Amino acid sequence: MVQRLAGGRLSVTELARPFPMSLAAASKHVKVLEEAGLVRRTIEGRVHHCELDPRPLADAMSWLGVYTAFWNERLTDLEAVLSERQHVRD
């Protein structure tokens, strides 16, 4: 659903269409995304429109970026150790 909303505003019906679930189940998924701060829902008459709020995803990517750098450094160190051991064996 998040990926579909990345393309722009959709009604809950449009959002649910490709998924094998009821409209009620889709609405529950949207509610969870709303509670996580990822989706904003507006109501026009009987139609509920959803829009992606990318800020929480950007915050998560920033947080993950710290760990990506950490693990890249560790893997580079491991590669150097393994390369050195292989060189000693040869």
Q: Name the strand (E) or helix (H) holding 61.
A: helix 55-89
* 3-class secondary-structure state, position 26: helix
Give pTM, 2 decimals: 0.67
* Same domain membership, residue 77 and residue 47: no
Q: Distance between CA 10 and CA 22 in Å, rounded?
A: 16
Residue 26 has pLDDT above 90, yes or no: yes
* Same domain membership, residue 46 and residue 12: yes
Read off φ and ψ for residue 6, nearest 5 degrees. Answer: -60, -20
* Same domain membership, residue 63 and residue 41: no
* Same domain membership, residue 36 and residue 12: yes
Q: Tokens 């560790």 correspond to what residue?
A: 74
* Same domain membership, residue 48 and residue 6: yes
pLDDT in the model for residue 31: 96
The pair of structure tokens assigned to 7 is 């393309």
- Count the domains in the chain: 2
For residue 88, give its domain range: 55-90
Over the stretch 30-39, which tens digit does the pLDDT of each residue have?
Answer: 999 999 999 9
Over the stretch 47-79, which tens digit does the pLDDT of each residue have?
Answer: 999 999 989 888 888 888 888 888 999 999 899
